[in-house]
Structure 1
C-alpha cells in the first residue's frame, strides 16, 4: 500500500474515531498493535512491558481523539510517542535501581532511621486515602494490575469487561492517584505504584 493511500486511510479512521466510532478504533488498533509491540520490545526487551506501553498509547489516543491532527502520519506520530515512553520507562527503571541501591546502602549504614520510617508511614496513609477516593470501577482493576500482578487481558477476562475498558480504567486511576499524591510522586514512581 502506498504511503499516500495509507495516510488517507489513517485520516479516514481518525475522522471516524473523532466521531466516537469504536469499530474504526478497533481497526486501527488491529492494524498497528503487533508491530508497535515489537517496536517497543526492541527497546525494553520484555513483551509484557512493551504491551503495556502500546496499550497505554492507544488509550491516550482514544482519550485525545477529538484533538488529533489529521495532517501528519499517524504511524510516525504513534511510533514517536511509543519511543518516548520506552525511553521514560528505561530511565524510570534506572532511577528505581539507583534508589534500591541507595536504600540498601543507607540501611546498612543507619539501620534506625526514624525520619524514613515516619515518611513511609505518612506515604502509606496518603495512599490509603487516595485509594478511598477512587471509584470502585477504577480501583478494582488498578489493584488487580499493580498489586496482584495481573495483565490487562487477565483482568478483562476475570471481570467480564472489554480490554479497552480495563485499559481506560487503569489509565484513569493512575491519573487520579498522581493528582492526589503529587507531593509524593517520585516515591510512588520508585515504588512502581504509578
Structure 2
C-alpha cells in the first residue's frame, strides 16, 4: 500500500514516529489548498508561501504532541485562518505605525523648516536694522524690540514725539524695500 492511499489519521501516526515520507504526503495533499485558502485573504504570493511553510514547519515541530480531535484538515485550515488573521492585524498595526510616523515626520519636518526660515528672517532683519543710521536704529529698536511707546522713547532719548515718529517712519521706508514681503512682521 502506498503512502498516498493512507488516511490523514494513519499519516499522522506515522508522522508522530518521525516518518518523513508521511510528512511529504501530507504536504503534497494540503499545501496547495492551504495556499489558496490564504490567497483569498492576503493576495500576496510571498506572504501566502511563507504562511504555508510556517504551518508545515509547526506541524513537523509538534508532530509528537499533536492531538487532533477534529482531524488534520480542520487543524490545518484553522491554522491558516488564525495566521491570516494575525498577519492582517499585524499589517493594520504596521500601517497605523507608518501613518503616525509619516505624520510626525511631516510635522517635525514642517516645524524644523519653519524654525529655519524664522531664524533666517530674524537674522535678515537684524542685519538690515543694524545698517540703519545710529539714532534712527536706536529709536526703531526701542519701538520694535523694547515695545516702548513714542512718548516713552521721546522721554528716554530726550527728543520730541514728532522726531520719534519721523525716525520710525524713515526706518520703515528704508527697511520696506529690503525686506519685501517680510515687512509686515515689523
Normalised by the length of structure 1, the TM-score is 0.52
Displacement of 1:110 after TM fit? Answer: 2.5
User: Is the contact made by 2:68 and 2:75 (CA closer than 8 Å) also made in structure 1?
Assistant: no
Gaps of 5+ in 2: 1-5, 110-186
1:84-123 aligned within 5 A = 84-111=82-109
Q: Distance in 1 between matches of 2:72 and 2:19?
A: 17
Q: Which residue of structure 2 aligns with residue 82 of structure 1?
A: 80
Displacement of 1:69 after TM fit? Answer: 1.1
Q: Give the ranges of 4+ consecutive aligned residues of structure 1 lying more than 3 Å apart after TM superposition.
A: none
Q: Is 1:34 aligned to 2:32, yes or no?
A: yes
User: Is the contact made by 1:18 and 1:65 (CA closer than 8 Å) also made in structure 2?
Assistant: yes
Displacement of 1:48 after TM fit? Answer: 1.7
RMSD between aligned alpha carbons? Answer: 1.9
Aligned residues: 106
Q: Which has the higher contact order (CA 8 A, sep 6+)?
A: 1
Name which of 19, 22, 25 aligns with 1:24. Answer: 22
Q: Distance in 2 between matches of 1:37 and 1:54?
A: 6
User: Is the contact made by 1:14 and 1:70 (CA closer than 8 Å) also made in structure 2?
Assistant: no
Normalised by the length of structure 2, the TM-score is 0.54
User: Is the contact made by 1:37 and 1:50 (CA closer than 8 Å) also made in structure 2?
Assistant: yes
